[in-house]
Structure 1
């Protein structure tokens, strides 16, 4: 009787796409847990988030990258630098496009980046649940004309359509090797970063115009000294006093609504009661503050 261990595959797949094409939704759908916050605002994702999906045969580590764009400031320079670094180190790339919007200049810019890599590229055309058959077929044809992908999959990350077939194909691209993470681990994010992102998600859902892009959340303290209750102290950084006023709201209504919704998300994540102390502070031009960006973990 053979004593050989069954062969497993493991590796990293980067998920690249224009802002707001559904990368975080797809990451969560593949992983089967919420590891990336979801919003209808562009540039929701600011860090490269690794979601881990493990089966007995493979471990797929999906890196949800910030939306690829031309850098505008130190923040977006760091985000773009992380995109290019992760692409170099990955085993394969998954390019996500929006079926509703079709193929545009941003998609061609990303395809040109991916063409420079020797790694295999797969395209997923997302949000097909919002399009008719003819519209979907046209986008699939346009995606094929980018001439960058070895395979193209029509999917709906939100509804789960086509996701399993996509995962099976990606797993086949991974090299043979042992797993990088324990089988029950879903993400490599530090706890304080994940909790801060859950708070920021609620800010994104309730604010408009420039405010979502000007807000970053930092969890400064997590204290579980009281049995059955975790104390979380968080700071929402903004760039101007007017943004602070919007975030606090008349009579403190906005910050209370954000805090209440965020506390529920934290309790769901931590599995216990949470006391959330959320304050708003102003730091002008924080998006160009190298030291603060370092502290916030935006590489």
Structure 2
């Protein structure tokens, strides 16, 4: 919409940065109002830059939930770090999310130094204040200010909703005037097969421990409409060792059945119809350094 040739709407991209497991995916889902990013208490849950789209009559805020910023240690994390830097260059603003429970640590300072070099305004949100006392919250808010990367700092609870609307209103005010990038009904730019694969991986993360969550990636290779409102989804869970495959399958196949049942329910909720999920586990040694597989999985 325009008035006398000038746009009356605002639209743009906000890059969401933070250490692994500070609640970026939860905040993305809260702002968008739909589940577009999987949630887990495991670090390195987000491996792709996920765009969540929030559209109102006067603005469209595209929130890019970046992979957890960290020092690269293999091809997978090198790609994740490269995507972080690329998204920051293309963003209209950046949002640094901190964990009130954990305070400000070396990882936060590492990210703050990265954001200081970004040519965009930076905002800080201190998450999980619902789990802290007023004194603890005041201490971490001061530590956030001491990072000297942002003038605007918002205490929030992404899970409970406290402070989220105030934060969104501020971010919307940083967006440049312009038309919308996405149709108003869109909530994400993820391809359907990627979104479904992530929903399956979420169930793997919820049920496995130690090295397994970091060594699993899920690929959806086929989505087919069949008779009687049934959708067939074929998915492969890639792991790096035979022992990880054994853990994922479980004694008598109990683990993979539990993962498949929970994942199927999530897929049915997302697709709004019955789903038959064909889930298998395969070994690809050192898949995190396999450039061709990473390309196929969409991890740029």
Fold shared, TM-score > 0.5 on shorter chain: yes
Cα offset, 1:189, TM superposition: 0.1
Distance 2:90 2:74 in 1: 25
Report the RMSD for the aligned CA atoms in angstroms.
Answer: 0.9
Distance 2:47 2:15 in 1: 15
Distance 1:66 1:287 in 2: 15
Structure 2 residue matching 1:109: 3-state secondary structure: helix
Confirm whether residue 278 of structure 1 aligns to residue 279 of structure 2: yes
Distance 2:30 2:186 in 1: 15
Structure 1 residue matching 2:29: 3-state secondary structure: helix
Distance 1:284 1:247 in 2: 15
Hey, what does 1:78 align to over in structure 2? 79
Asked if the contact 1:16–1:96 (Cα under 8 Å) also holds between the matched residues in 2, the reply is yes
TM-score, length of structure 2 as denominator length: 0.98
Asked if the contact 1:192–1:219 (Cα under 8 Å) also holds between the matched residues in 2, the reply is yes
Distance 2:41 2:82 in 1: 24
**Deviation by residue 1:165-187 (Cα, 9 ceiling, x = unmatched):** 00000000000000000001000
Cα offset, 1:225, TM superposition: 2.9
Cα offset, 1:49, TM superposition: 0.1
Distance 1:102 1:26 in 2: 18
Distance 2:4 2:85 in 1: 42
Distance 1:80 1:12 in 2: 18
Structure 2 residue matching 1:232: 3-state secondary structure: strand
Cα offset, 1:150, TM superposition: 2.4
Hey, what does 1:143 align to over in structure 2? 144
Structure 1 unaligned spans of 5+: none
Confirm whether residue 217 of structure 1 aligns to residue 210 of structure 2: no
Hey, what does 1:15 align to over in structure 2? 16
Asked if the contact 2:268–2:275 (Cα under 8 Å) also holds between the matched residues in 1, the reply is yes
Asked if the contact 2:13–2:62 (Cα under 8 Å) also holds between the matched residues in 1, the reply is yes
Distance 1:263 1:225 in 2: 16
Structure 1 residue matching 2:235: 3-state secondary structure: strand
Hey, what does 2:169 align to over in structure 1? 168
Structure 2 residue matching 1:29: 3-state secondary structure: helix
- The ranges of structure 1 where at least 4 consecutive aligned residues each deviate by more than 3 angstroms after the TM superposition are 2-6
Asked if the contact 1:87–1:93 (Cα under 8 Å) also holds between the matched residues in 2, the reply is yes
Cα offset, 1:4, TM superposition: 6.1
Distance 1:159 1:215 in 2: 30
Hey, what does 1:96 align to over in structure 2? 97
Cα offset, 1:5, TM superposition: 7.2
Hey, what does 1:41 align to over in structure 2? 42
Distance 1:118 1:222 in 2: 41
Q: 1:128 to 1:163 in 2, by over 3 A?
A: same
Deviates more, 1:195-204 or 1:142-151: 142-151
Cα offset, 1:227, TM superposition: 3.5
Hey, what does 1:179 align to over in structure 2? 180
Hey, what does 1:203 align to over in structure 2? 204
**Deviation by residue 1:269-298 (Cα, 9 ceiling, x = unmatched):** 000000000000000000000000000000
Structure 2 residue matching 1:224: 3-state secondary structure: strand
Asked if the contact 1:120–1:150 (Cα under 8 Å) also holds between the matched residues in 2, the reply is no
Structure 2 residue matching 1:280: 3-state secondary structure: strand
Hey, what does 1:257 align to over in structure 2? 258
Asked if the contact 2:145–2:151 (Cα under 8 Å) also holds between the matched residues in 1, the reply is no
Asked if the contact 1:17–1:96 (Cα under 8 Å) also holds between the matched residues in 2, the reply is yes
Confirm whether residue 117 of structure 1 aligns to residue 157 of structure 2: no
Cα offset, 1:16, TM superposition: 0.1
Asked if the contact 1:21–1:97 (Cα under 8 Å) also holds between the matched residues in 2, the reply is yes
Structure 2 unaligned spans of 5+: none
Structure 1 residue matching 2:204: 3-state secondary structure: helix
Structure 1 residue matching 2:295: 3-state secondary structure: helix
Distance 2:292 2:119 in 1: 35
